[in-house]
Structure 1
């Protein structure tokens, strides 16, 4: 009987607690807090979770190169998601084509407005008209859309329903011809009988705020907000410019555009283009989540130098390479990464240039090619003395005036020294190379101690 009574009492208390929590006005004047929607961390597609922790950053062995820019330092990084592989041509092409199509649709919609034929032939350029922009067939603007200073109909009302017509023989009307001709090079600039797009016209614009400067300095908020405009197409001429007296035209012509290289890491992108990609990836996902009335995710971004090294080590303390080390071969004499072995024998590792982004075995965090294949941009400005003064908690040096940005991991053209997880190198932020790519990260929101 006592057991039954106790059980009934527990049930009654639980029911009462449920009723209290269910009723919005039943806090009885007590401070109970305001609860939002339950947040469930969602691993982004193609990423792995890197659980935060402390590690010894820098050279654990002798600095044989004598650079003296990476002395050992114990640092701590929070948890974050990281791309399993370097961003591939296929993934970057999704960004390029989305920007390209939005620019073209913008011009088509503007031409549709100017054509003066809003009630005319819907099979012509009018099918690309802005949504809710003077078209009687569309629903009227809401008061928010009509009067809010945050509403930009030219940006938010592009019509993505009709497909862009690329075949000149299928152009629907004269207005469409004029718009599309603007995006192609003239005949005297094209060759091999191909009609070539003028890739310089396709730019991605976005705003950023220097939070660190805004927090430490006085001034208006607008003083720390800048608008970036970045050309999105990678520079395929790097396959020519990076090498003298070398025949690399096939890579120049086909590496980014041909489907044979879809799963290869994108190259020829500057540090600024990599950051623009990360911004677009965030917007693309949040636009989708907004339609489903789901909470926004936080930003995708380039990793800091410390985050990159922590992930590259794969939990192996003091390892020389992502697989531990100290050798670049396994016990069967097979190379463990794509680099330049011996005295320049590129073919010794069975790869002349880059290889697929998921080639070779991943490290213990499930990350591929953290050493070799292509070096990777990180969101850190290069200073050879930075390890002496960086914070031990989430360290990073970001100086907008310093054009030298850190690249990590080494590439297909580098000797094994640059493949070491502690080796630092840099490129100028406005430079593009045939051996530099990138991958992105996203902060994990929540308590890392509760991760499964």
Structure 2
């Protein structure tokens, strides 16, 4: 009996101590107390660990390692896809190629905001419009596609073509702003329907302008750019001394976790990783063999019972054979096909082989330099910064300062719009004593020339004229010149030099994947080709990507068994 009383006493004492310790612990980590300083801060916001939402149209691609450039054969003898081990961070990618319907939404917005009938804006809509003449062939009748492919509703869900790399890049920027504009409106930071009712050439939304100078968004119209989100419109109360403190953080910031990162073209490494989808071949931390195509197996036809014999992609099967004999066993298309007509790969991405080839962000070089970098490899970095005006504030692009580029074919494209923040190259203020980069333009870094210089004869005199320097460049590509005469007429000069040795320069971009015009050889995700960034074809389209912020994956890792 005595023993039981002692045991009961000890148990009661233990419970009291546990409750006491829990109470102390609760007090020491009270709500709002910083784990770094103990100060009362808004820890609920800081520790919310807000998950990034997938933007409209995007599919999550979990990153990892893969062998980039690994092909079963190289019958073209390009020698430009030597296998290298690369690691790609997690990112998002469009489920399908950008369709005609999606691109027409872009054109309709430009036409509404920047009327082509206005002399000031006539180049904007025209410069963004796809080249429908890419369908013409000297010995073929294709006028039906020339006149109908872009706009006829029958082709609405077909991938857009006739778009050059620059246009694809500008579409991605526009898409970023429209998506974030809708997010801010949904959360009560922008006037409802302002994106359609109040937008004009002088009052537009730019994500970067909103983040850096929100009061200058929509031309500085405070009736559109609202302070605080939903339920935060109440006037601040006066303090004990009668003064009213000005509200802080009334606009969305990056730290709010509401706005999405930018839509952009995928890098070559991202595109190839997503297309190969080796995750479907995963066995613990290795791959069970190498895929030849985005699907398993070494054949282009399905082996499954329910659709055995069906083609798994849209491609050219032989001379004069763009789809096969009419009937069940053909690939269902003679030109492009509507998206999602063929099975998705193991990442849930459609048409990563066939239909249309796709632009990627990289400048083309014959080699992938994994010795310099094997993490998120990308060649094409041109670092810029916001331009600061004389008043110390960011400089906003106006009608007078819009940047217009004249392409080699004479077409004029606008690459900065009113309402955006003007950009300038980074200078020594950002590069001084840095080890990771030392200039704004890094396209030619370690591209195979001697001593990693831009010229093949390293050590030439700085006093060389520009023509002498041009003659010594490693990539001696043609230079077509477009100028304007005194009457404002365009003068095109075609480079007829017989001394040109290559088509490679800083304005050629990589495109990946086979198309409806290509043989099965080009369906291999590791194959790579290049094309001038200011030219378009009837077989190259594109899709967008978005970087992933936060953890590599959201799902719990557990053993397979």
1:338 is aligned to 2:314: yes
Q: 2:300 aligns to what?
A: 328
Q: How does 1:169-318 map to 2 (within 5 A)?
A: 182=117, 201=122, 203=124, 231-240=127-136, 243-291=137-185, 292=187, 293=189, 295-315=258-278, 316=281, 317=287, 318=290
8 Å contact from structure 1 (residues 374, 410) kept in 2: yes
Seen in structure 2, the aligned counterparts of structure 1 residues 281 and 324 have a Cα distance that, compared at 3 Å, is: same
1:371 is aligned to 2:353: yes
Q: Which whole-Å CA distance do the structure 1 matches of 2:533 and 2:176 have between them?
A: 22
More helix by share: 1
Deviations 1:21-76 (A, max 9, x none): 2699982599x999376422101122111111000111242323322110111000
Q: 1:413 aligns to what?
A: 517
Give 4+ residue runs of structure 1 displaced > 4 Å after superposition: 1-4, 22-26, 387-390, 449-452
Q: Which whole-Å CA distance do the structure 2 matches of 1:94 and 1:390 have between them?
A: 41
* Aligned-pair CA distance for 1:392: 0.9
Q: 2:391 aligns to what?
A: none
Q: Which whole-Å CA distance do the structure 1 matches of 2:39 and 2:349 have between them?
A: 52
Seen in structure 2, the aligned counterparts of structure 1 residues 6 and 311 have a Cα distance that, compared at 3 Å, is: farther
Task: Tell which structure's C-alpha radius of gyration is larger.
Answer: 2
Q: 1:101 aligns to what?
A: 112
Deviates further, 245-254 or 317-326: 317-326
Seen in structure 2, the aligned counterparts of structure 1 residues 266 and 17 have a Cα distance that, compared at 3 Å, is: farther
| Alignment size in residue pairs | 333
8 Å contact from structure 1 (residues 69, 387) kept in 2: no
8 Å contact from structure 1 (residues 337, 360) kept in 2: yes
Deviations 1:388-414 (A, max 9, x none): 655211111113961211110110011
* Aligned-pair CA distance for 1:289: 2.8
* Aligned-pair CA distance for 1:201: 2.3
Deviations 1:159-181 (A, max 9, x none): xxxxxxxxxxxxxxxxxxxxx8x
Seen in structure 2, the aligned counterparts of structure 1 residues 361 and 19 have a Cα distance that, compared at 3 Å, is: same
Q: Secondary structure of the equivalent of 1:339?
A: coil
Q: Which whole-Å CA distance do the structure 1 matches of 2:99 and 2:17 have between them?
A: 62
8 Å contact from structure 1 (residues 70, 387) kept in 2: no
Deviations 1:53-107 (A, max 9, x none): 0001112423233221101110001000000100011111111111111113xxx
Q: 2:52 aligns to what?
A: 41
Gaps of 5+ in 2: 1-10, 190-251, 253-257, 282-286, 325-330, 381-442, 445-504, 557-561
Q: 1:437 aligns to what?
A: 541
Q: Which whole-Å CA distance do the structure 2 matches of 1:357 and 1:272 have between them?
A: 23
Q: Secondary structure of the equivalent of 2:527?
A: coil
Gaps of 5+ in 1: 105-179, 184-197, 205-229
8 Å contact from structure 1 (residues 48, 82) kept in 2: yes
Q: Secondary structure of the equivalent of 1:306?
A: helix
Deviations 1:326-362 (A, max 9, x none): 2111222221100001333113122110101111000
Seen in structure 2, the aligned counterparts of structure 1 residues 17 and 345 have a Cα distance that, compared at 3 Å, is: farther
* Aligned-pair CA distance for 1:6: 5.8
Seen in structure 2, the aligned counterparts of structure 1 residues 390 and 426 have a Cα distance that, compared at 3 Å, is: farther
Q: How does 1:51-90 map to 2 (within 5 A)?
A: 51-90=62-101
Seen in structure 2, the aligned counterparts of structure 1 residues 60 and 423 have a Cα distance that, compared at 3 Å, is: closer
Q: Which whole-Å CA distance do the structure 2 matches of 1:327 and 1:93 have between them?
A: 36
Q: Which whole-Å CA distance do the structure 2 matches of 1:26 and 1:75 have between them?
A: 40
Deviations 1:295-336 (A, max 9, x none): 322111101111000000112452110003321112222211
1:426 is aligned to 2:408: no
TM-score of the superposed pair, with normalisation by structure 2? 0.55
* Aligned-pair CA distance for 1:290: 3.2
Deviates further, 336-345 or 36-45: 36-45
Q: Secondary structure of the equivalent of 1:439?
A: coil
Q: CA RMSD in A?
A: 2.9
Seen in structure 2, the aligned counterparts of structure 1 residues 301 and 11 have a Cα distance that, compared at 3 Å, is: same
8 Å contact from structure 1 (residues 279, 300) kept in 2: yes
8 Å contact from structure 1 (residues 372, 412) kept in 2: yes
